[in-house]
Amino acid sequence: MAKEAYLYPLIVLLLLIHVSAQLLQLPPPTGLFTIGTVEVQIHDSGRVDVLAPTPNIPRTFMVQVFYPAKYSTLHTLYYAVPYIKQHAALAYEAAKGLQAGTLSALQSNSLPGATLYVADGNLTNIIVFSPGFQISRVFYTSILEDLASKGYVVVAIDHTYDAEAVEMADGSVATGRFVGVPEADLDLSEVAQAFTARTEDVVYVLNEVREIMAHVPGFTDFVDIGGLAVFGHSFGGAAAAEVCWLDGRVLGGLNMDGDFYGEVVGKGLNKPFMYMDSAHGDDVIRSPAQVEVWERLRSWRRHVRVSGLRHMGYSDFPMLIELLGLAQEIPEDVYEDLYGAAEAARSALVVKTFVAAFFDFLFTGVKSVLLSNELNEEWPEVSFPMGRDFRLLQVSSDTFS
């Protein structure tokens, strides 16, 4: 019996080592907090899902909450949730021609159902995130975890039938209605529907935020929500701006390399807003809507440009390509056009740092040196083109950036 008692933990340890050898964990976040996560399926019974293949059904979508968690000695790699759930992974692997199990090998830094850390005063600031057009929230996990590691609660939305594939609570996969449709053939009226659906998704999350947070262990009726903010990438960044205009509860927002649509273009904003974009070489892209919104931002505003970064560099894709060893399979010019020429880890660090700096300012009111509109030797790739004297340099023809 004594021998068996000795061997059992050794066998478990060997099994864990074997498992860890097959897992590819995301780079660690830059903040100090352990990260917890929960997924919640949302039913908006008062709204018809205009994107669903079945007519006249209520809008249903998924959210994932990332949050700072209380530390436990049990927090190890082996308890972190997979980067992407099994059925969604299979759908993406099949669609992208990846070997089965490729995406399943990816591991996040987030612990399922960990207890929420609540700071003194019981105030929790919540940020709602909307991903890019046809992209799942999964592929932004790194930046979402990073914000959670710095003390923020982030509610990331998967916009069903817009995103390419979303795994629902029962394991079924909702396939996006635009999958396989070339950009040139997209029906603009349907894209407009998708934009309206996602802004309504964001507003509904804001309406139901306490009910969503009730799924997080440690969140009680005694926890106050200190403030609400929104941000997004591409189409999601445009939705964030529109929700800033639509919803007075939102303190401010951030658009990562998206254009602007909706009422905000003509109305502008009376609350803090930051716009980040990408630049590659001498290429400068602007749309009239971006300039029009900029001129109507009547509160604090910043335009942050990251050189060497391209549009999809704001997602996890460059990091995933590196982790999975796929870089050699992508032509260099194609990679740079999508993600940029900058080193993936450095670009990710720049984006995470400046995004966090914005939310630190938004929720505390303490101005950051990083966002002073002045160049910083520590961040040579960052500039502020619309800081004081901006002109429309070139109009973009890209409708969906």
Q: What is the pLDDT of residues 361-394, one digit of tens each?
A: 999 999 889 998 888 899 999 999 876 444 443 3
Residue 399 lies in a domain: no
User: Residues of the chain with pLDDT > 70: what percent?
Assistant: 87
Residue 4 lies in a domain: no
Mean of the per-residue pLDDT values for the chain? 89
Query: Please, which pLDDT band fits residue 13 given cuts at 50, 70 and 90?
Result: very low
User: How far from the centroid of its chain's Cα atoms is residue 224's Cα?
Assistant: 24
- For residue 351, give every residue at least 6 positions away whose Cβ sits within 8 Å of its Cβ, in sequence order, or none: 143, 256, 276, 306, 309, 313, 314
| 17 pLDDT more than 70 | no
What pLDDT is attached to residue 387?
Answer: 66
Q: What is the pLDDT of residues 75-111, one digit of tens each?
A: 555 589 999 999 999 999 999 999 999 999 999 999 9
CATH number for position 352: 3.40.50.1820
Q: For residue 91, what are the CA distances in angstroms to 5, 96, 173?
A: 43, 9, 8
Residue 395 lies in a domain: no
Collapsing DSSP to helix, strand or coil, 50 comes out as coil
Radius of gyration of the chain measured on its C-alpha atoms: 21
Residue 320 lies in a domain: yes
Residue 302 lies in a domain: yes
| C-alpha span between 230 and 254 (Å, rounded) | 7
Q: What is the pLDDT of residues 113-150, one digit of tens each?
A: 999 999 877 789 999 999 999 999 999 999 999 999 99
pTM (predicted TM-score): 0.90
What pLDDT is attached to residue 281?
Answer: 54
Average pLDDT over residues 319-338: 94
| C-alpha span between 146 and 355 (Å, rounded) | 10
User: Residues of the chain with pLDDT > 90: what percent?
Assistant: 77
- Look at phi and psi of residue 395 and say left if phi exceeds 0, alpha if psi is from -120 to 50, else beta: beta
Residue 226 lies in a domain: yes
Residue 142 lies in a domain: yes
What pLDDT is attached to residue 279?
Answer: 74
| C-alpha span between 136 and 323 (Å, rounded) | 19
Average pLDDT over residues 37-49: 98
Whats the size of the chain, residue-wise?
401
| C-alpha span between 207 and 222 (Å, rounded) | 18
Rounded to 5 degrees, φ, ψ at 395 are -85, 130
Q: What is the pLDDT of residues 44-61, one digit of tens each?
A: 999 999 999 999 999 999
| C-alpha span between 265 and 242 (Å, rounded) | 8
Average pLDDT over residues 287-294: 90
Q: Residue 242's domain spans which residues?
A: 21-388
| C-alpha span between 147 and 136 (Å, rounded) | 18
Residue 13 lies in a domain: no
What pLDDT is attached to residue 398?
Answer: 38
Number of folded domains in the chain? 1
